[in-house]
Amino acid sequence: MAGRVQGKLALITGAAQGLGAEFARLLASEGAKVLVTDINGEGAARTAAELNAKHGAGTAFSAQHDVTDEAAWIAVVEQARRDLGGLSVLVNNAGMGTRGMVEEIDLADWRKVFAVNMDGTFLGCKHALPLLKEAPAASIINISSIAAMIVGPGMSAYHAAKAAVWTFTKAVAIECARKTKVRCNSIHPAWTDTAILDGLARPGASHEEVVDKLGSVNPMRRVGQPHEIAQAVLFLASDESSYMTGAELKLDGGLSAT
């Protein structure tokens, strides 16, 4: 039986671990060929090896890729043309945050958060669009956060950078809507069980403790699981979402409804 993204050619950034690796797993299991990239090149290669072992050689390719590096983006898009034979899905997933009250954040840390989340997404769209436009139908999926819409103390750089990704997504969608077959949407998860949560733990706290604490303030009384966020990526990557562009999907256990 054909998968939901059979024949799609997907580039996923930040796919050495966490959400990016899970997106690659689901897209590959539904028939896509994937190029998984990460600043951690060994981790990206591990993800690709796992998928090739499961779905057959030639399913997945990998690259060491810093999303803040414009030359690296040009090389990775060229690799997509060469290894995948084109590109129809781009998942701008690589991201990071920093903690600290506004008066405490170093400018260098502020800029790093914007560089990885926002510059990385901009460069991905800029350099992948020419190849995406060659596909019969293409989808850009930008991984923002519910933190783009609701805020708490101590994470202003992350809130602002993810809000920029959210608005930028709509701008790309509108630029592409009339004359291209490229759609562009954003995904907004609440806390989801990956290693990124460890950066939020008080010193000495275990991963389980931070997961329990963050989950306790969610209406569903739990954090999200990577496979739950991956379902939204699958939908947006597939032609099932063909009339959807410039939109945002919130996967937050109801948090933003309270």
Ligand X SMILES: NC(=O)c1ccc[n+]([C@@H]2O[C@H](COP(=O)([O-])OP(=O)(O)OC[C@H]3O[C@@H](n4cnc5c(N)ncnc54)[C@H](O)[C@@H]3O)[C@@H](O)[C@H]2O)c1
**78 vs 239, which CB is nearer to ligand X?**
78
**135 vs 144, which CB is nearer to ligand X?**
144
User: What is the number of helices (H) and of strands (E) in the chain?
Assistant: 8, 7
How many other C-beta atoms lie within 10 A of the C-beta of residue 192? 24
Site membership for ligand X, residue 96 (CB under 6 A): yes
Instruction: Report the b/e string of 59-76 with b at 16+ CB within 10 A.
Output: bbbbbbbbbbbeebbeeb
Q: Is 243 a catalytic residue?
A: no
Cα angle for residues 114, 120, 122 (degrees, 5° grid): 100
Subset of residues 18 to 77 that bind ligand X, contact rule: CB under 6 A: 18-20, 38-40, 43, 65-68
Of these, 93, 169, 238, 245, which contacts ligand X (CB under 6 A)?
93
Q: Which of 158, 166, 168, 235 is catalytic?
A: 158
Give me the least distance between CB of 22 and ligand X, in Å please.
8
How many other C-beta atoms lie within 10 A of the C-beta of residue 163? 17
Contact 187, 236 (CB under 8 A): yes
In the structure encoding, which two tokens stand for residue 130, read together?
Answer: 């020419």
Site membership for ligand X, residue 148 (CB under 6 A): no
In the structure encoding, which two tokens stand for residue 142, read together?
Answer: 């930008």
Give me the least distance between CB of 5 and ligand X, in Å please.
20
Of these, 191, 211, 233, 234, which contacts ligand X (CB under 6 A)?
191
Catalytic sites, residue numbers: 158
Would you tell me which residues interact with ligand X (CB under 6 A)?
A: 13-14, 16-20, 38-40, 43, 65-68, 93-96, 116, 143, 145, 189, 191-192, 194-197
